[in-house]
Amino acid sequence: MTSSEKHEEFDVVSPASAAGFTPGQAQDLGDRVNNRSQRPTSEAFKDFMASSWAPAEPVQHERDEVATHAAARRSAVSAQFPNERLVIPAGPHKVRSNDTDYRFRPHSAFAHLSGLGVDHEPGAVLVFEPVDEGTGDHGSRHEVTLYFKPMAGRDTQEFYADARHGEFWIGPRPGLEEFSQRLGLRTADSGALEVAVTKEAGPVEFGGTRIRLLREVDLDVDALVDTSRINTTVDLETSDAYDGELAEALSELRLVKDAWEIAQMRVSVEATIAGFHDVVAALPRAADHARGERIVEGAFFARARLEGNDLGYDTIAAAGNNATVLHWIRNHGAVRRGDLLLLDAGVEADSLYTADITRTLPVTGEFSPTQRKIYDAVLAAADAAFAVVRPGIRFRDVHTAAVRVLAEHLDDWGLLPVSLEEALDESGQHHRRWMPHGTSHHLGLDVHDCAQAKRELYLDGVLEPGMVFTIEPGLYFKNEDLAAPAEFRGIGIRIEDDVLVTEDGAESLSASLPRTAQEIESWMRGIWNS
């Protein structure tokens, strides 16, 4: 029995668990999760629950705007893997604790190829079935079908008794016909998935069909494909390599965004900027609280849920020395007057595209001279990186431009133990003590998008119009860092913007959020005085 089947079985109350047990009677372990339930199980109740519900009204649904773009993406994948069956799971529910789940989010590759976001399709799978050249969807080499579990009718027990899938518990969900109309995809009940995935599978040299699977997304689908491979004597080690090539290709497909994706990025950036405004408004309250970072985190999260699907990643709300911890997400510290707050946050739109923006804000609304000095150095590095962005340069050149400016400032301040050129040489890198992370990463459906792309297409890749990435230099001087001047210690500053490569240069998608120290001070005063 799969984990999802277990959960489903637990959700349906058995007559034994409803009736209770006599003292000393053993209770099946699988029934115990329902000890909190008091649902009736009489036939009279079942008959009554299955009656007198309004029928679902048939509705003709318009094609989603994303459908054309998603079809083009599927055709691009089809061209790379002719004559092979491709299996792309959305992923299942993930248990948070006991019988409660996290809000569902599909795997990014599934979302990219289907056009689906939010929480409609736990357990869904896209299957690319190979066909003769030119006879597939949109003239491609594959027919693509979306398999998922349709919601049960209101005349079934599942409607009211299944807390994970029943409409009575989780509300209505689009059905097979609705998704087919909206997405321009074939749809089928997931009950047919096993045959669709395993039919005629086997070694290509013996006339079988090779399967490529996006692995470690849905363990049940992994088991289905692996069992098929074992039963048809397909070499598992070789198959793992084929699966890896598919994951790589799906990641690389997202390196250049289409027009619809770029529009979604703008939506997420604008919502994120509104969230930064909310945080500034909440800062006076946070500054008087022992866990002020939580107030900051909560203010941004409220905006993410109001305007989007969720956070794109765990918010970094780091005040004082916590800002020198690169991935500070505990957010349980105080926000003290005179300190800086480093806020690294992004709203994930309903389409699942996320922004990723960082600003470092003076808690009192005014930078001290030392804070401003360091801030201006980081800003100069960010500006230098942005200035080099254009089609044709290498992705790594953005980082090189930023860290050189940071190294020059560190040298001017007398912090480098060697000459500037020695530090910048690959055999030195002393300046990286205070800027240990990369300056940029691709951005999109994942905050660190396209992570499985080959190095030669990512770090060593050439920039193209439509690429979206961050520019985020920083300087971090920890309290315990004796190589830094005493007045620098406890200061962490990062400035991060989201950048679109255009035909002749670059556009900062987050340009409307204040960046200079003077702009930030004026912006914060304006919010507090309004």
Q: Which of 191, 221, 252 is the last residue of a domain?
A: 252
Tally of CB atoms within 10 A around 43: 7
Whether 313 and 244 share a structural domain? no
Is residue 279 assigned to a domain?
yes
d(CA 472, CA 475): 10
Whether 73 and 149 share a structural domain? yes
* CATH code of the domain covering residue 375: 3.90.230.10
The sign of the CA dihedral 456, 462, 466, 472 is positive
Q: Which of 232, 252, 272 is the last residue of a domain?
A: 252
Encode pLDDT of 28-54 as tens digits: 776 666 666 677 888 898 889 888 888
Whether 507 and 415 share a structural domain? yes
Is residue 123 assigned to a domain?
yes
Whether 78 and 180 share a structural domain? yes
Q: What does the CA dihedral 510, 513, 515, 516 come to, rounded to 10 degrees?
A: 140
Question: What's the whole-number average pLDDT of the chain?
Answer: 92
Angle, CA of 252, 304 and 348, to the nearest 5°: 10
Determine the pLDDT at residue 151: 82
Is the pLDDT higher at 11 or at 522? Answer: 522
**Contact partners, residue 372, CB within 8 Å, separation at least 6:** 517
Whether 165 and 204 share a structural domain? yes
In Å, how far are 340, 361, 385 from 318, measured between CA atoms?
8, 10, 25
Determine the pLDDT at residue 37: 67
Q: Left (φ > 0), alpha (ψ -120 to 50) or beta: where does 390 sit?
A: beta
Is residue 26 assigned to a domain?
no
Whether 166 and 241 share a structural domain? yes
CB 114 within 8 A of CB 150: no
Res. 2 pLDDT band, cuts 50 70 90 = very low
Is residue 247 assigned to a domain?
yes
Whether 247 and 264 share a structural domain? no
CB 98 within 8 A of CB 9: no
The mean pLDDT value for 5-17 works out to 40
For the cut 50, the answer to whether the pLDDT of residue 65 exceeds it is yes
Total domains in the fold of the chain: 2
Encode pLDDT of 288-338 as tens digits: 899 999 999 999 999 999 999 999 999 999 999 999 999 999 999 999 999
Whether 248 and 265 share a structural domain? no
Whether 447 and 314 share a structural domain? yes
Tell me the three state secondary structure of residue 185.
coil
Encode pLDDT of 147-161 as tens digits: 999 888 888 888 888
Domain residue limits at 165: 66-252
For the cut 90, the answer to whether the pLDDT of residue 210 exceeds it is yes
Whether 473 and 420 share a structural domain? yes
Whether 265 and 241 share a structural domain? no
d(CA 126, CA 140): 16
* CATH code of the domain covering residue 240: 3.40.350.10
Is residue 25 assigned to a domain?
no
- What 447-451 contacts at long range (C-beta under 8 Å, 24+ apart), as own/partner pairs, is 447/312, 447/313, 447/346, 447/354, 447/356, 449/108, 449/254, 450/251, 450/252, 450/254, 450/255, 451/251
Encode pLDDT of 362-420 as tens digits: 999 999 999 999 999 999 999 999 999 999 999 999 999 999 999 999 999 999 999 99
Is residue 1 assigned to a domain?
no
Rg (CA), the chain: 27
Whether 374 and 285 share a structural domain? yes
Q: Which of 223, 252, 281 is the last residue of a domain?
A: 252
* Element (DSSP H or E) covering residue 501: strand 497-501
Is residue 22 assigned to a domain?
no
Is residue 9 assigned to a domain?
no
